[in-house]
A and B are shown apart, each in its own frame.
Chain A
Amino acid sequence: KQEVTQIPAALSVPEGENLVLNCSFTDSAIYNLQWFRQDPGKGLTSLLLIQSSQREQTSGRLNASLDKSSGRSTLYIAASQPGDSATYLCAVKVLREETSGSRLTFGEGTQLTVNP
């Protein structure tokens, strides 16, 4: 059974800092990995998707890396801003042969606060 863990559970930083959020997963046979952002009272917004054959993806100030063999991913946020305050969720997609489908398994998230 795939389990996803995110560390730390909460993080508070001053504006302008570079920061790293960590995600680990137990089964390395993943289809892809996604990082999502969730604002209070809102749904999830996809930030970055890394295919299983890729090592990293970048979007603006965000960079996500994937090391399948060690079961780890990191989300790097450069020059953090108060608007980055949200919960960041990591999710891995695995194929399920019994259903010919796939399943996205989420971690519990890291709650980020960027202080002005």
Chain B
Amino acid sequence: EAGVAQSPRYKIIEKRQSVAFWCNPISGHATLYWYQQILGQGPKLLIQFQNNGVVDDSQLPKDRFSAERLKGVDSTLKIQPAKLEDSAVYLCASSPGHGPGNTIYFGEGSWLTVV
């Protein structure tokens, strides 16, 4: 079974530039998550989709971050304009649903450095 795929793996941009990350979840998984993990910290949820609808985006900095999940499969996370403090790993994850027994599966992350 293929895992959660993310691209690009690494990106270096200057502040005020824009960047986009792509995620392809495990086939059939209805729930998709984007997390931000700053070095030395645990991941923090940015946005959660159930199929193609947003379930939770309360921690997404909406002035600069946006995400979409067209057709309920792939998802894209965009940052525009980037700030230095956005340097982090952006982890995409998916699960079959959000019921109590569902295991969440993570991709390997997209590493962003803003200079």
Binding site for B on A (CB under 8 A): 4, 31-32, 34, 36, 41-46, 49, 51-52, 89, 91, 93, 96, 99-109
B61 → A minimal CB distance (Å):
17
Instruction: State which of B11-19, B62-70, B74-82, B105-113 sits at the interface with chain A.
Output: B105-113
Range of interface residues on B (Cβ < 8 Å) = 20 to 34
Q: How far is the CA of A104 from the CA of B105 in the complex (A)?
A: 12
Which residue of the partner chain A has the closest CB to B48?
Answer: A101
A33 → B minimal CB distance (Å):
11
Binding site for A on B (CB under 8 A): 4, 33, 40-45, 48, 50, 55-56, 58, 91, 93, 98, 100-101, 103-109, 111
Which of B45, B101, B109 makes the CB contact (< 8 A) with A104?
B45
B12 → A minimal CB distance (Å):
15
Q: How far is the CA of A34 from the CA of B52 in the complex (A)?
A: 26
Which residue of the partner chain B has the closest CB to A44?
Answer: B106
Contact flag A46-B45 (CB < 8 Å), given A100-B55, A101-B56: no
Q: Are A96 and B56 in contact, with the CB atoms below 8 A?
A: yes
Q: Are A51 and B41 in contact, with the CB atoms below 8 A?
A: no
Chain A residues in 8 Å Cβ range of B104: 34, 46, 104
Instruction: Known pairs A42-B109, A44-B93, A99-B56; list 19 more (Cβ under 8 Å).
Output: A34-B103, A41-B111, A42-B108, A43-B106, A43-B107, A43-B109, A44-B43, A45-B106, A49-B103, A89-B42, A89-B43, A96-B56, A99-B55, A100-B55, A101-B48, A103-B56, A105-B45, A106-B43, A108-B40
